[in-house]
Structures are given as structure tokens and as C-alpha cells.
């Protein structure tokens, strides 16, 4: 991928100039404005709800509660707790399952009238005792169906080791908080729902909305062409989306509903509070002999959310005896949802902190310790890696961060009044590939159009598709048009799990190759190339040429015109190979951090951050680096700032706003670098890419904790590492 490996973001201009249309910005005639009124208790029943004043307020079109809702037919179907989609059946009855659960939908003809009417709704409750503090119910966890205990070798074999480490690590609830709020415009055309909504999965949204309203997925129209970030919160169809559709059906007009920032903290998922226990054992020479990783994580009372928190401990290191256990506890909150680096980001904090702690106990450099336990194959699945350039990531990072300046003894290095610490953490994430269909078209004006219903929540999917399409067809990137993010296009996968480039990129790759063959086939039928062997023909910059005789050429435009075609089309589904199943396909990342800590003030400065990754082939350096920078910043938030604080007396958040829920800004990171090994994976897919978005975050939080320890000798095992924990 040469010429196209550094093209600019194709959606960049639209995004920075405001011409990109986000869901709530679509122009829809007759649109009305809605909001959700939330419960002020965390558990109980609605005793009474007074909607009269709101109904009588000027401009109000409807007030919908559990008392007057027209229940969608899908509400009657039995729900599995494992069935993501719309498990909280909004307005179903008088029960309250979490703080700020919607109890009413108010629709009016203007935004201001809607807001005013909503303020008039009063509810009384029958309170029940709620439970929001995971620490209090840590022993009440249950093992979910899909997260069975895992053992390799001797159960809890670490206990027999020469050197043992047993520690507990905690991460608080963290919230995705994309800049673009959750938002939807919902309307109906007869019995067919039409939504403009913030979603990471067009086809998944069609299925879940179809299921709730008893409509075939094909009859659900979904638009989600631009997203202002999502980080996983768009992987679920949320109750607010169903509420807007119920409201629109009732009043027979389009309904626009945008959550308030506060509701983003309570109604659209989060990374769940998780407590982890690690037990590690090694020989005195630094060979890991046992590893036990246990986690207890929060879920809601109505849905079993699980993630792969303990899974990386099964394959990350060469270790004969490994046990993992994962449990969930039901709390009175909204259901969590995958948040960037789901599971592994949480798990890596415990694993990579514990590895650092054990290396310290052994008085060994933590990278040396990791190298001694480098896994040459995946011991969990007993398969070879498709490719693994983790050692190159270590080398690349050590050099860039200046690892040689690190001393094993904490507090040994100073710069003026600042204590200097170096730390690192390893990350990984499965590299998945789902089936994807792409339609590729050459138009008679010399344009290549690529169509797929997949979304682009920000990683640069459209740019990646453009780069691959341009590379294969030999057209300039400016001639490539991407149509994506809506139903009616060839079916793409949900954008999640770092799988989009492997899935949709491969589909673009395959469809474009077929399209090129088709064009060359047509050219071969012309008088110009009749006598040229087809294998000698190639396509470059919109023209079919012969490799041996460059005087001969046929342009794509003339090919189409001569054949009286408006366009040349290929539609093709691509999916993973059987061969790929024989391998274990993972991306790897290593984050390096140099911190400066003021021992008197507890202030932590990130003097230098280096993130290295083995993600196979890098399709586009700019967007990939952007992903890596952004993911690393997410990990810095996790390490130093992010925590949803709950007032357990009331079961509700305290810092549900951007002022009090802290995320890193540019000034928080003094120098940041990204390094890609950029070696093709021979197995993963035709381009040799692996996933990027998640592993960009995984491993960063422990890198910071390890650096802070190296600077100060203080080991912080409960995130975030705020200054009160340092002084
Ligand atoms: Mo990612 S958490 O699969 O959006």
C-alpha cells in the first residue's frame, strides 16, 4: 500500500466545516422535539405520576408513560437475559430499575416548549433498597453462561511457586462520553420505521428495532452516516431509540430526541466497575509457573453483560498453570456496554500491573521478565500465532522512551524537584473478521464508487476503503466515492471489536480486484487488445494498458461508452478462510510512559508517551496513527482521571458532566509518539491487517501505574491514579 498509504481523511473536510450531517441534524419536515424524564430513585415503583400540567402546556403533542404507552408487539416476546438489543422495555410497567431510568417521554412542537413541559412532570415513588456498591456484594457474583472458569495445568498452581504475588486491583465505572450525544430522529412510513440514529451497526439496529416492533429487518430504514465518536456506546439499541419510535407512531410525526449530557452517564452504558484478584508465581530466575486471574464485574439487574476481562491472562505469557474465573454481580444501574478495549483494557490493568510487581519482587527489569515468559504460541487455543511482533514493539518503545535511563529501584531518578519514572504495559486484542459485502462500481465519468452499510464512528473507515480501492484500481484517491452508514446498501458488519478493516477492507479489496478483472476482460474484447494476452493487461489511472506495449491503451470511460454501459458493477461478499481458523490471530501493543511526579504535590506529568503496535499491514499511516494516539489518550484517561463517582446513598452519579468527569486534554500529555511494526500478517486476510482500535488503549493504564511506582515507590491498585493516592 504505497501511494495511498498517507492520504488525508476523506471525511475530514466535511467534519471540520460542519457539512457532515449527524443523526439529529437531518432535515425532516414536520419534525417534533422530545425528551425523556428520568426517575429520581434507583429502585422501586412509580406510585403516581402527574402529567396533567405537562399535557396542558403550550405546544405539547404527547406525554407517554407506562400508563398510556402503546406497547410494541416485541414487548410480549420472552427475552433472554443474553439478548442485547432492547432488554429494558421502556415504559413497560411501574418498576424502576436504576436512577434516571426514563419514566416519561414528552413531545412538543418546539424544543423550548418540550423542555418546559418536561419540567412540569411530577412523580411519587415507592422506594426499595437499592444496591450500587460493588464492594458490598463482591461475594454475590455469579458465573455467566458464556464465561466459564478456565484451567490449564494445576488449578491455582501459582501457590506452589518459589516467589508469589497476590494482589487486588480495582477499576471504577468509566463512561464513553463521545462529543456527539446519543440522538435520533424517528419516523414511520406506514408500518416501516425510519431512523436517523447514532449507531455503530446499521444491520444490528435494523434487527433490534425490527424485533421490538414486529417488523422485518429489511423494512427498517437506518441512517447513521456520520458519528461524532462512540467508543462502543453505539453497539446497543438503547431504550431512548425505542421511545422515540413509540412517540412518533403515536403522534404520526417525526420525533427528534437528543439525550442531555447527564443522561449520557446513566442511560447508554459504561465500562463496568470491576474488582480483580491476581495470583502470580515464578521461579527465582523469573520463569512464570502459575497465574490466576479472577474478576467480579458489575451488570444490571435485567441483563447479563459480560466481557473478556480475564481472557488475556490465558495466552499472554508462557505459563503452564493458569486459572481464570469471571463473575458478574447484578446492581441497580443501566446495563454496561463494551467500551474501547472492552475486557482487555480492564484485565490488562491487573495483569500488567501484577507482572510489573512480580518483576520488582524478583529484582528484574520488567521487560526482561516479560521476554523470559514470551509465548511462542497461543497456549490457550494450542495454535500458532498468525504473526507476532511483540518483541519488536518492546525494542521500538525502549529506544524511543529512553528505557536505558530507567533504574529498577523506585525513586532513583530525578529531574530537579520531579521524581522520574519509566513504565510500560503490554496490550492485545483479538483480530476478528466478519463477513462483509461491498459493491464496487466504475462510472462513466471515471469515478469508482464503493458501497457498504458499515458505519465509520471515527477511525477512518471511509479513508481506509478509499485507500484500498484506489490502490487496487490504480485510480487517484480523489476519484473514489464511498457510500456507507445506511441501510439499503450491501450489508456490512457492525463497527466494533477492531474488525472493520479486516472485514470491510477485505471486501473492498476483493470487489475491486473482481472489478478490475471485469474491466480488463472487456478491454480484451476490443480491437486494441484482441491479440494481447489477457495476463499482460493491467489497469492504471483509469486506463487499461498492456504491460509490454505501452502505446496501446483503452480508457475505462471509453470502455463503458463503447459497451453502452453507465457503470460497471461487481457486488461481492468476503469472509474469513478455513485456513485462518488454524491460527491464533491477535494484535499486540506496548505502551511506554515516562512520568514526572512531584512528591510534595502528588502531581503526575506525562513527559513522554510512546505507543508501539503490531497490527499487521498499516493501510493508512495518518488514520492509523490517529487511532493509536486517540486510544492511548483513552488509556491515559483510564489511568489518571476517569471515574464515575456514585453517591451510594441515592444510587446516583455525582460527576455526571464534562466539568467533573475528567478526561485528558492536549496539555496533559507533553510528548506523544506512535510506532507501528507494519509487517504483513500472512494469514489474517488478503491485506495482512490486524485490528487496531482496541489494542490502542489496552495496556496504557498499567504502563502509567508502573511508571508512577518506578518514580515514587507507591503502587496504586485502584484507578484512577489521582494525586491524593500519591502523597
Ligand atoms: Mo468497540 S468497544 O467494539 O466500539
* Domain spans in the chain, listed from the N-terminal domain onward: 22-129+180-264, 274-432+581-725, 434-575
Q: Which residue has the higher pLDDT, 57 or 138?
A: 57
Residue 425 in contact with ligand 1 by CB distance below 6 A: no
Residue 308 in contact with ligand 1 by CB distance below 6 A: no
Q: Is the ipTM of this complex over 0.90?
A: yes
In this structure, the residue with its CA closest to atom 4 of ligand 1 is: 232
CATH of 434-575, one of 3.40.50.1220, 2.40.10.10, 3.30.420.10, 3.30.365.10: 3.30.365.10
Residue 232 in contact with ligand 1 by CB distance below 6 A: yes
| Cα-to-centroid distance, 177 and ligand 1 (Å) | 13
| Cα-to-centroid distance, 634 and ligand 1 (Å) | 13
Residue 81 has pLDDT above 80, yes or no: no
Mean per-residue pLDDT over the chain, rounded = 95
Q: Say if CB 115 and CB 35 are below 8 A apart.
A: yes
Residue 444 has pLDDT above 60, yes or no: yes
3-state secondary structure of 680: coil
Q: pLDDT-derived band of residue 1, with 50, 70 and 90 as boundaries?
A: very low
- For 578-620, the pLDDT digits (tens) are 999 999 999 999 999 999 999 999 999 999 999 999 999 999 9
Specify the ligand 1 atom closest to the Cα of 200: 4
| Cα-to-centroid distance, 693 and ligand 1 (Å) | 8
Among 493, 503, 693, say which to mutate for ligand 1: greatest number of ligand atoms within 8 Å of CB: 693
Residue 631 in contact with ligand 1 by CB distance below 6 A: no
Confirm whether 274-432+581-725 and 434-575 share one CATH topology. Answer: yes
Check whether domain 22-129+180-264 has CATH 3.30.450.20, yes or no: no
Torsion, CA 413, CA 418, CA 419, CA 422, rounded to 10: -80
| Cα-to-centroid distance, 42 and ligand 1 (Å) | 27
Specify the ligand 1 atom closest to the Cα of 235: 4
Residue 698 in contact with ligand 1 by CB distance below 6 A: no
Specify the ligand 1 atom closest to the Cα of 337: 2
Q: Rounded to the nearest 10 degrees, what angle do helices 202-213 and 239-251 cross at?
A: 60
Q: Quote the CA–CA distance of 84 and 628 in Å, as a whole number.
A: 29
Residue 496 in contact with ligand 1 by CB distance below 6 A: yes
| Cα-to-centroid distance, 314 and ligand 1 (Å) | 21
Percent of the chain with pLDDT over 90: 94
CATH top-level class of 274-432+581-725: alpha beta
Specify the ligand 1 atom closest to the Cα of 694: 1
| Cα-to-centroid distance, 340 and ligand 1 (Å) | 5
Active site residues: 694
Specify the ligand 1 atom closest to the Cα of 341: 2
Q: pLDDT-derived band of residue 550, with 50, 70 and 90 as boundaries?
A: confident
Among 497, 502, 638, say which to mutate for ligand 1: greatest number of ligand atoms within 8 Å of CB: 497
Q: Quote the CA–CA distance of 427 and 316 in Å, as a whole number.
A: 9
| Cα-to-centroid distance, 457 and ligand 1 (Å) | 10
3-state secondary structure of 375: coil
Quick one: pLDDT at residue 79?
60
Specify the ligand 1 atom closest to the Cα of 230: 4
Residue 269 in contact with ligand 1 by CB distance below 6 A: no
- For 199-241, the pLDDT digits (tens) are 999 999 999 999 999 999 999 999 999 999 999 999 999 999 9
Specify the ligand 1 atom closest to the Cα of 497: 3
Quick one: pLDDT at residue 3?
61
Smallest CA-to-CA distance from 681 within 489, 444, 506, 496 is with 506
Quick one: pLDDT at residue 394?
98
- For 468-519, the pLDDT digits (tens) are 999 999 999 999 999 999 999 999 999 999 999 999 999 999 999 999 999 9
Residue 576 in contact with ligand 1 by CB distance below 6 A: no
Quick one: pLDDT at residue 624?
96
3-state secondary structure of 443: strand
Which triple of cell numbers denotes residue 134?
460493588
Q: Say if CB 223 and CB 20 are below 8 A apart.
A: no
Cα angle 308, 456, 567; round to 5: 130
Among 224, 270, 308, 340, say which to mutate for ligand 1: greatest number of ligand atoms within 8 Å of CB: 340
**Chain-centre distance for alpha carbon 302:** 23
Specify the ligand 1 atom closest to the Cα of 232: 4
Residue 340 in contact with ligand 1 by CB distance below 6 A: yes
Q: pLDDT-derived band of residue 275, with 50, 70 and 90 as boundaries?
A: very high
Percent of the chain with pLDDT over 70: 98
Average pLDDT of the residues in 175-198: 97
Q: Quote the CA–CA distance of 411 and 599 in Å, as a whole number.
A: 10
- For 398-416, the pLDDT digits (tens) are 999 999 999 999 999 999 9
Q: Quote the CA–CA distance of 209 and 230 in Å, as a whole number.
A: 19
Average pLDDT of the residues in 130-139: 94
Average pLDDT of the residues in 434-463: 96
Residue 235 in contact with ligand 1 by CB distance below 6 A: yes
Residue 271 in contact with ligand 1 by CB distance below 6 A: no
Distances (CA, A) of 560 to 89, 480, 531, 719: 53, 17, 20, 61
Residue 342 in contact with ligand 1 by CB distance below 6 A: yes
Residue 234 in contact with ligand 1 by CB distance below 6 A: no
Residue 493 in contact with ligand 1 by CB distance below 6 A: no
| Cα-to-centroid distance, 624 and ligand 1 (Å) | 16
| Cα-to-centroid distance, 155 and ligand 1 (Å) | 32
Distances (CA, A) of 463 to 9, 223, 496, 613: 5, 19, 17, 20
| Cα-to-centroid distance, 315 and ligand 1 (Å) | 21
Among 694, 695, 696, 697, say which to mutate for ligand 1: greatest number of ligand atoms within 8 Å of CB: 694
Quick one: pLDDT at residue 2?
56
**Region label for 252, one of left (φ > 0), alpha (ψ between -120 and 50) or beta (otherwise):** left
Specify the ligand 1 atom closest to the Cα of 231: 4
In this structure, the residue with its CA closest to atom 3 of ligand 1 is: 496
Amino acid at each position: 500500500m504505497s501511494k495511498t498509504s498517507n492520504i488525508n481523511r476523506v471525511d475530514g473536510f466535511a467534519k471540520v466545516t460542519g457539512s457532515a450531517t449527524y443523526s439529529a441534524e437531518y432535515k425532516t419536515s414536520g419534525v417534533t422535539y422530545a425528551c425523556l424524564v428520568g426517575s429520581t430513585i434507583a429502585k422501586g415503583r412509580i406510585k403516581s405520576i402527574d402529567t396533567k400540567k405537562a399535557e396542558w402546556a403550550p405546544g405539547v403533542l404527547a406525554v407517554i408513560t407506562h400508563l398510556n404507552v402503546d406497547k410494541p408487539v416485541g414487548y410480549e416476546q420472552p427475552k433472554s437475559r443474553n439478548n442485547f438489543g432492547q432488554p429494558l422495555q421502556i415504559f413497560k410497567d411501574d418498576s424502576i430499575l436504576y436512577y434516571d431510568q426514563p419514566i416519561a417521554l414528552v413531545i412538543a412542537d418546539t424544543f423550548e416548549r418540550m423542555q418546559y413541559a418536561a419540567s412540569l412532570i411530577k412523580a411519587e415513588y415507592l422506594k426499595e433498597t437499592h444496591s450500587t456498591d460493588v464492594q458490598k456484594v463482591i461475594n454475590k457474583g455469579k458465573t455467566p453462561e458464556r464465561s466459564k472458569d478456565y484451567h490449564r495445568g494445576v488449578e491455582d498452581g501459582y501457590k506452589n511457586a518459589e516467589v508469589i504475588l497476590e494482589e487486588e486491583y480495582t477499576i471504577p465505572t468509566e463512561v464513553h462520553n463521545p462529543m456527539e450525544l446519543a440522538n435520533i430522529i424517528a419516523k414511520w412510513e406506514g408500518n416501516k420505521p425510519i431512523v436517523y440514529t447514532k449507531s455503530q451497526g446499521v444491520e444490528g439496529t435494523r434487527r433490534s428495532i425490527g424485533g421490538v416492533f414486529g417488523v422485518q429487518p429489511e423494512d427498517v430504514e437506518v441512517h447513521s452516516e456520520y458519528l461524532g465518536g462512540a467508543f462502543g456506546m453505539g453497539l446497543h439499541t438503547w431504550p431512548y431509540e425505542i421511545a422515540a419510535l413509540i412517540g412518533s407512531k403515536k403522534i404520526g410525526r417525526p420525533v427528534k430526541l437528543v439525550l442531555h449530557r447527564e443522561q449520557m452517564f446513566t442511560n447508554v452504558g459504561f465500562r463496568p466497575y470491576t474488582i480483580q484478584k491476581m495470583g502470580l508465581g515464578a521461579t527465582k530466575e523469573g520463569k512464570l509457573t502459575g497465574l490466576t486471574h479472577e474478576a467480579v464485574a458489575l451488570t444490571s439487574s435485567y441483563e447479563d453483560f459480560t466481557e473478556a476481562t480475564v481472557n488475556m491472562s490465558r495466552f499472554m505469557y508462557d505459563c503452564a498453570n493458569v486459572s481464570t474465573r469471571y463473575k458478574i454481580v447484578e446492581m441497580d444501574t443501566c446495563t454496561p456496554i463494551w467500551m474501547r478495549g472492552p475486557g482487555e483494557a480492564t484485565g490488562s490493568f491487573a495483569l500488567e500491573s501484577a507482572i510489573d510487581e512480580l518483576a520488582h519482587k524478583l529484582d528484574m527489569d520488567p521487560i526482561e521478565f516479560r521476554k523470559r515468559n514470551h509465548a511462542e504460541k497461543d497456549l490457550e487455543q494450542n495454535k500458532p500465532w498468525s504473526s507476532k511482533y511483540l518483541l519488536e514493539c518492546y525494542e521500538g518503545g525502549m529506544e524511543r522512551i529512553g528505557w536505558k535511563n530507567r533504574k529498577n529501584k523506585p525513586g532513583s531518578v530525578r529531574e530537579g524537584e520531579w521524581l522520574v519514572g519509566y513504565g510500560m504495559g503490554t496490550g492485545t486484542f483479538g483480530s476478528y473478521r466478519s463477513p462483509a459485502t461491498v459493491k464496487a462500481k466504475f462510472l462513466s465519468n471515471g469515478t469508482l464508487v464503493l458501497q457498504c452499510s458499515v458505519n465509520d464512528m471515527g477511525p477512518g473507515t471511509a479513508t481506509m476503503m478509499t485507500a484500498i480501492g484506489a490502490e487496487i484500481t490504480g485510480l487517484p484517491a480523489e476519484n473514489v466515492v464511498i457510500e456507507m452508514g445506511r441501510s439499503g446498501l450491501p450489508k456490512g458488519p457492525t463497527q466494533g471489536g477492531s474488525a472493520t478493516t479486516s472485514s470491510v477492507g477485505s471486501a473492498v479489496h476483493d470487489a475491486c480486484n473482481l472489478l478490475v478483472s471485469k474491466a480488463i476482460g472487456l478491454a480484451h474484447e476490443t480491437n486494441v487488445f484482441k491479440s494481447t494476452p489477457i495476463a499482460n493487461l493491467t489497469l492504471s489511472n483509469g486506463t487499461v494498458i498492456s504491460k509490454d506495449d505501452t502505446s496501446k491503451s483503452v480508457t475505462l470511460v471509453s470502455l463503458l461508452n463503447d459497451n453502452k454501459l453507465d457503470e460497471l458493477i461487481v457486488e461481492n461478499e468476503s469472509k474469513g478462510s478455513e485456513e485462518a481458523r488454524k491460527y491464533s490471530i491477535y494484535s499486540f501493543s506496548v505502551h511506554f510512559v515516562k512520568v514526572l511526579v512531584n512528591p510534595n504535590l502528588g502531581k503526575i506529568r506525562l513527559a513522554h508517551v510512546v505507543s508501539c503496535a503490531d497490527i499487521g499491514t498499516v493501510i493508512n499511516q495518518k488514520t492509523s496513527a490517529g487511532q493509536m494516539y486517540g486510544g492511548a489518550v483513552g488509556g491515559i484517561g483510564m489511568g489518571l482521571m476517569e471515574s464515575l463517582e456514585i453517591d451510594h446513598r441515592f444510587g446516583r452519579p455525582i460527576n455526571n458532566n464534562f466539568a467533573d468527569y475528567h478526561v485528558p486534554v492536549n496539555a496533559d500529555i507533553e510528548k506523544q509518539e506512535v510506532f507501528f511494526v507494519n509487517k504483513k500478517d500472512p494469514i489474517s486476510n488478503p491485506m495482512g491487517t490486524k485490528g487496531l482500535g482496541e489494542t490502542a488503549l489496552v495496556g496504557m493504564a498499567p504502563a502509567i501505574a508502573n511508571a508512577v511506582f518506578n518514580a515514587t515507590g507507591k503502587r496504586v491498585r485502584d484507578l484512577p491514579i489521582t494525586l491524593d493516592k500519591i502523597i
